Amino acid sequence: MKIKQFIIPFFIILFGFSSCTEKTTVAKTDLSSTSETRSDAKMESFLDSLINIMTLEEKIGQLTLMSTDWEKTGPTINENYKKLIKEGKVGNIFNAYSVKFTKELQQLAVENTRLGIPLLFGYDVIHGHRTIFPISLGESASWDLKAIENSARIAATEASAEGIHWTFAPMVDISRDPRWGRASEGAGEDVYLGTEIAKARVKGFQGDNLFETNTILACAKHYAAYGAPIAGRDYNTVDMSERELRTTYLPPFKATVDAGVATFMTAFNDVNGVPASGNKYLLTDILRTEWGFEGFVVTDYTSINELVPHGVAKDNKDAADIAINAGVDMDMQSGAYMDFLKELIADGKVTEKQVTTSVRRILALKYKLGLFIDPYRYCDETREKELLMTPEHLEAARDMARKSAVLLKNNNQTLPISKDKKVALIGPLANDKYNIIGSWTAAGDRYTKPVTVLEGFKEKITNQANLFFTPGCEINAENTSDFQNAINIAKKADVVVMVMGESEGMSGEAASRTNLDLPGNQKELLKAIKKLGKPMVLVLMNGRPLTLEWENENMDAILETWFPGTMGGYAIADLIFGDANPSGKLTMTFPRNVGQIPIYYNVKNTGRPYELNGPEQRYRSRYLDVANSPLYPFGYGLSYTTFKYTDFSVDKKTYALKETINISVTVTNTGAVEGEEVVQLYMRDLVASVTLPLKELKRFSKIKLKPNESKKVTFTLTSDDLAFYTKDMSFKAEAGEFKLFVGTNSSALLETNFTLK
């Protein structure tokens, strides 16, 4: 009956029906979703008819996005927002989930407003919904695009089962500065890998057809260059050349447009003096005109009003004027459009046609989701009961946590540990459910569902009497009261496993850090136990690269697990005890110290490059007190086996501009166990019209090999892969000499050359 109440106004408008029976029949026909009934022409006709009878206030309501409130039991909404929804002044809500709650809110719009236009529900579904996967930076370390897509697919399945239509993900900002807390939400420092992961996540969230109820709208954020704030301080100024912007920071966003992303979110920062939420060059000239984006653009939280402290708007009315004229369709939480758009139209600063254009983009996506057929189609209690945290979802999360872990050190085959060994498990994160799932955890349970490392170890250790545990210290405090307990249990053990790192709140939004050492007195505890002379394994949980020079020198093994998610404890135990083999590779460079930051692999040579064994190094681009090289380079990660690269070649040495370049290399597992290897192909243009990086990732392939097995890996490149922004900012390849590199990381590489004529 509720669906009938909603459908009646629209089909009176569109078809002039006078019978309730006829109207219901039309609705049911549409619900079949044949290609004919859901054609673009039919949608455009529907939108024309609807928009033609909407008042200006109703249109502005569709441009407004407001948040629910929050209590320990979950999201709630205040009476004022309920009133605004009933009045049609709020057309979209975020931070709402669960079938019961979203259905309650949807009824306010569908059954109380004049036209019954359904609400759109958005939420930060970043790395899982109920089943939490590793943080996005961790997932990127898997270099497994199918697994990353599947992670987003599962997140969409669970979120949509709880009434959510739209996620504020993926974050596709490139980041080369680990001081920046939101590096945890992205795919690292490399533009090629970042674009591939961005496309995989969009595909995972949106599927092939938005009309399917297990899909949600994706949102490419934060547009643009949010990952490059000065000093790594969140929300800070971004100032860079047009060449750098287009070469490094825009390609992942362009890739999401090509992948069909539904929405874009503006960044908080300014870009070369113009805040992103008022930046017509970014939002209209590039995004709409150059790239052809057809979805809608939403701001980040209150960022329209933040144009005032940015110093480009005198008040919130002025800010609303700037934002809509720049190309912002939807206002998140500022209330600026709600309060001032009608006045701005009356003043002649904004036209109703502009508002209508934005409304059409938003309504089109509501249509594609099927909300005009059945506004409650995402409110299915059966799906909610059946699709959350299923065994299949939990196993996928466990597998992704295994794939994401990076083995940074493993002297003398310290890992894996035999299950009959006596193991001391120590560290503030060893039995911590709250922090193991990281930040931005959607509707994830922090208190009962996550599996801790201690729980994972208990599943593996043959004799429980051989497992000793104590926290030893807190994450970020100077308390040493448990040090002696830690030392005492370490004395009993054959091997000591230390689980250390950051709290979830130390990375993510508004979580920039200048000291990237292990926080609190964690390193002091490591030093105290090191004196015992026992084999020591350091397991890390963190949302960014840390500075680990002392740890690298003194630990026998180091396993980077990021924040591994709901099943993290099981996954870590799988790796530590050899039931799985680490295969992750770093997607952000680990510095030796913060003085090297920003640090990344694809640097330029400079006019005075430092040469490791050169004769005169004083007047070279270098530091006096530390090596130029990182502690761990981009693409780095060890395995319990070893791999050998041979027969690296191109199919010929000279190519014409439009010819395909065929490349091959043979990889052999030279160890004793099965393992996965990420084969990485890099390229350098040796002489060009502008300065270019020493190497750039161009392709990669993740392969699995049994002991002594060899596999020939092939790659193809075209002239597009050789192109760059030339002196006149045209994007093209130039003839000349090129060098190709292949190997296990960005530093350990075989080389070959070719010429482009």
Residue pair 507/184 in contact (Cβ under 8 Å)? The answer is: yes
Question: How many angstroms separate the most distant Cα atoms in the chain?
Answer: 92
Q: Environment class of residue 172 by beta-carbon count within 10 Å: exposed (0-12), middle (13-18) or buried (19+)?
A: buried
Active-site residue flag, 300: yes
Separation in Å, CA 262 to CA 216, 295, 594, 737: 9, 5, 38, 41
Helices assigned H by DSSP within 493-548: 522-530
Cis peptide before 222 (omega within 30 of 0): yes
Smallest CA-to-CA distance from 115 within 155, 141, 87 is with 87
Q: Which residues of 353-381 are buried (b: 16+ CB within 10 A; e: fewer)?
A: ebbbebbbbbbbbbbbbbbbbbbbbbbbe
Taking each helix axis from N to C terminus, what angle separates 251-258 and 191-206, rounded to the nearest 10 degrees? 30
- Beta strands in 152-291, from DSSP E residues, in sequence order: 166-167, 219-223, 263-266, 270-271, 274-275
Among 124, 144, 300, 331, the active-site one is 300
State CA 419 to chain mean position distance.
Answer: 35
Smallest CA-to-CA distance from 329 within 264, 387, 282, 380 is with 264
DSSP secondary structure code for residue 505 in this structure: G
Token output for 605: 């040579």
Residues 530 and 2: their CA atoms lie apart, in Å, by 67
Separation in Å, CA 562 to CA 314, 543, 643: 43, 6, 25
Residues 628 and 411: their CA atoms lie apart, in Å, by 24
**Sign of the four-CA dihedral 54, 60, 65, 68:** negative
Q: How crowded is residue 719: how many other Cβ atoms within 10 Å of its Cβ?
A: 17
Residues 221 and 227: their CA atoms lie apart, in Å, by 10
Taking each helix axis from N to C terminus, what angle separates 352-368 and 336-346, rounded to the nearest 10 degrees? 140
* Cα within 13 Å of Cα(67), Cβ side: 13
Residues 630 and 552: their CA atoms lie apart, in Å, by 12
Token output for 57: 């206030």
Residue that is written with structure tokens 């998140």 in the block: 332
Residues 735 and 654: their CA atoms lie apart, in Å, by 10
Q: Which residues of 245-262 are buried (b: 16+ CB within 10 A; e: fewer)?
A: bbbbbbbbbbbbbebebb
Q: Which residues are catalytic?
A: 300
